[in-house]
Amino acid sequence: MLSLISHSRIFAYIALFFSLLLVSGCDDVVEAEAVSEPIKAIKYLQINPEISALERKLSGYIKAVQRSDLSFQVSGQLLSLNVEVGDHVEVEQSLAILDPAPYQFRVQQAQAELASANAQHKKSKENYLRQKSVFDKNIINQNAMDSALAEYEQAQSSVQLSASKLALAQRDLANTVLKAPFSGMITRRDYQSFEEIPARQPVLEIQGERDFEVSFLVPSNLIGKIRQGSKLNVRIPVLGDTRQQALVNKLGFKADVRGAFPVSAVIQSPDQNIKSGMAADVFIDVSHKNEIILVPESAVVIAANNEEQVFVFDNKNNQVHARTIVSQVVDMNTLQVTKGLSSGEIICVAGAEFLRDGQVVSLYQAPQQ
């Protein structure tokens, strides 16, 4: 019986030894699996509010700085129209002519009236001088002298009036020719030859070809960013991605029904291919240096409790830790963090939804080119 008990104890010890050996082997397997977990490299951003920058893009259109509706100052039949839409014209070039005959007759009539007035003036002057001579000799009385003087002064007034009528008639005759006020391109034509044209009715539109400006609307929350003479960047998509500089020259002080203010900016050294009517993008700097923390939208994940979180890198142990933040939307790709982050901290900006709190990571370094 004693021998049987001793053998049982030996078998128990052997079983315990192998059990301990099996448990130890499992721990080694778990530890080996933990060590073999790959270390993920994360794309990161170091928070630096001092260099956080942002610009807003507004839509506008190009127009010529010099633009004018051309009209005759007198009415009449359009005798000839010498230009078409798209024609280049030089300053003082004749563009259109009204029938001058009625105005030539008025000039001739005014010339005749002036000649008659001059003749009457000469006659009344001679009479006045003759009357004055005899008056000085006390041959005639004061009444006769006053009558001669009044006739002479009336003749002077008639000459002045006739001269004014002649000047107006000559001006109207000159206005039967419509000339270009500056060099440019004809962009609109509203009449054809031999039509009756009312005075001051636009006949043609001309635009300059050298100086251009961009017109756009600025929302009320951005109008404070712009001043007379402010520098802006302008891009004309059909001409490529190159930006051109423009200076604000017109700043509206009254908002339209949408609460936006009209603004114009003259383009400095415009591209030679720029044309009036082209669409343009205007970029306004709305940077907030030393004021806000901006992060990409991809850096923020929504936790199970619906809180916003980012993963902050701890360079002491190379781990990332989930951090609750408060943010507000700036645009579709950018968030402003108002609570939860500080300058100098490093956050993951791509793939944050695949990280876990306390995970060991490395910072991704772009390969050298």
pLDDT band at 321 (very low <50, low <70, confident <90, very high): very high
Same domain membership, residue 112 and residue 46: no
The H or E element that residue 79 is part of is strand 76-81
**The domain containing residue 255 runs over which residues?**
56-64+210-285
Tell the residue number behind the tokens 């009517």, with chain if given. Answer: 277
The total of structural domains in the chain comes to: 4
Same domain membership, residue 79 and residue 182: yes
Determine the average pLDDT of the residues in 11-35: 47
Mean pLDDT for the chain? 85
Q: Which two tokens stand for residue 248?
A: 């604000």
Contacts with 227 (C-beta within 8 Å, 6 or more apart), sequence order: 248, 251
Q: Which of 108, 115, 79 is nearest to 94 (CA)?
A: 79
Same domain membership, residue 105 and residue 94: no
For residues 331 and 317, which has the higher predicted lDDT (pLDDT)?
A: 317
pLDDT in tens, 288-319: 555 678 899 999 999 989 999 999 999 999 99
Asked whether residue 331 is domain-assigned, the answer is: yes
pLDDT in tens, 112-145: 999 999 999 999 988 888 888 877 777 777 888 8
Q: What is the per-residue pLDDT for 132?
A: 82
Burial 155-193 (b: 16+ CB within 10 A, else e): beebbeebeebbeebbebbebbebebebbbbbbebeeee
Asked whether residue 295 is domain-assigned, the answer is: yes
- 220: how many CB neighbours lie within 10 A of its CB? 11
Same domain membership, residue 197 and residue 92: yes
Same domain membership, residue 78 and residue 189: yes
In CATH, what number is assigned to the domain containing residue 82? 2.40.50.100
Share of the chain above pLDDT 70, in %: 86
Same domain membership, residue 236 and residue 359: no
In CATH, what number is assigned to the domain containing residue 349? 2.40.420.20
Q: Are 251 and 230 in contact (CB under 8 A)?
A: no
Asked whether residue 45 is domain-assigned, the answer is: yes
In CATH, what number is assigned to the domain containing residue 218? 2.40.30.170
Asked whether residue 20 is domain-assigned, the answer is: no
Q: How many residues does the chain have?
A: 369
Measured between alpha carbons, how far is 148 from 130 in angstroms, rounded to an integer?
A: 9
| 225 pLDDT higher than 80 | yes
Asked whether residue 15 is domain-assigned, the answer is: no
Asked whether residue 183 is domain-assigned, the answer is: yes
Tell the residue number behind the tokens 């956050």, with chain if given. Answer: 347
Same domain membership, residue 201 and residue 170: no
Same domain membership, residue 170 and residue 189: no
| 157 pLDDT higher than 50 | yes
Q: What is the per-residue pLDDT for 131?
A: 83
Write down the pTM of the prediction. 0.54
Q: Which two tokens stand for residue 187?
A: 């962009």
Same domain membership, residue 279 and residue 214: yes
Determine the average pLDDT of the residues in 246-269: 89
Same domain membership, residue 181 and residue 80: yes
Q: Residue 26, SS3?
A: helix
- 211: how many CB neighbours lie within 10 A of its CB? 13
Q: Residue 267, SS3?
A: strand
In CATH, what number is assigned to the domain containing residue 154? 1.10.287
Q: What is the per-residue pLDDT for 159?
A: 94
Final residue before a domain boundary, out of 254, 285, 316: 285
Asked whether residue 35 is domain-assigned, the answer is: no
Same domain membership, residue 318 and residue 331: yes
Alpha-carbon separation of residue 252 from 207, 261, 267, 296 (angstroms) = 22, 6, 18, 34
- Kindly report the backbone phi and psi dihedral angles of residue 286, in degrees, each rounded to the nearest multiple of 5, phi listed first: -120, 35
Q: Are 274 and 280 in contact (CB under 8 A)?
A: no
Final residue before a domain boundary, out of 154, 174, 194: 174
Q: Are 185 and 207 in contact (CB under 8 A)?
A: yes
Asked whether residue 116 is domain-assigned, the answer is: yes
Same domain membership, residue 180 and residue 167: no
